Amino acid sequence: MSCPDLNVDSIADLQAVLARIPYAGLIGAEVREHDGEPLFVLPYRASNIGNVLLPALHGGVIGGFLENAAICHLMWAHEASVLPKVVDFSIDYLRSGRPQDVYASCEIVRQGKRIANVLLTAWQDDRSKPIAAARAHFLLA
């Protein structure tokens, strides 16, 4: 995808990107600024529940939220106008996702010419108690 009006120069621009990604809207992913970096937020909604007994968020939603966070973070870091493509995604589920907001941050571990390696962390009320950690490779167009 490349459209000139989609250039991401700031975290505010990322909100416009998110608004154009239908799946991001389906799960309700948002972005805000924290210490000059994007902080991704997944406000709680009942339709993201994947276990009604615990209850807990669907693991796939947490994975999708992190993958989407990586896409947006890479666009922000590169002031890109093209969505990066996921090559592989590996996620460790550390705690069950309780029915409340989820936060995520993304760290670019290694950035090559075409491929980026990223590290993702998801947490709820306590950042020192992550609910999931993921690593992924993306192809930058």
Partner 1 sequence: MTNSKATRVTMTETPKRNAEPVHAPAFFAQIMQWFEQLPHCKLLGIKHLSSSAGSVTLELPFSDAIIGNPQTRVLHGGVVTTLIDTASGSAIYTLLSAPEAVATLDLRIDYLRPAKPDAPVYCTAECYRMTEHIAFTRATAFQDDVSKPVAYAVGTFARTPLGKEGA
Q: What is the size of the binding site for partner 1 (CB under 8 A)?
A: 42
Judged by CB under 8 A, does residue 3 bind partner 1?
Answer: yes
Residue of the chain from 5, 9, 35, 46 that contacts partner 1 (CB under 8 A): 46
Full 3-state SS string of the chain: CCCHHHCCCCHHHHHHHHHHCHHHHHHCCEEEEECCEEEEEECCCHHHEEECCCCEECHHHHHHHHHHHHHHHHHHHHCCCCCCEEEEEEEEECCCCCCCCEEEEEEEEEECCCEEEEEEEEECCCCCCCCEEEEEEEECC
Judged by CB under 8 A, does residue 28 bind partner 1?
Answer: no
Judged by CB under 8 A, does residue 48 bind partner 1?
Answer: yes
Residues 53 to 72: which contact partner 1 by CB under 8 A? 53-54, 57-61, 63-65, 67-68, 71
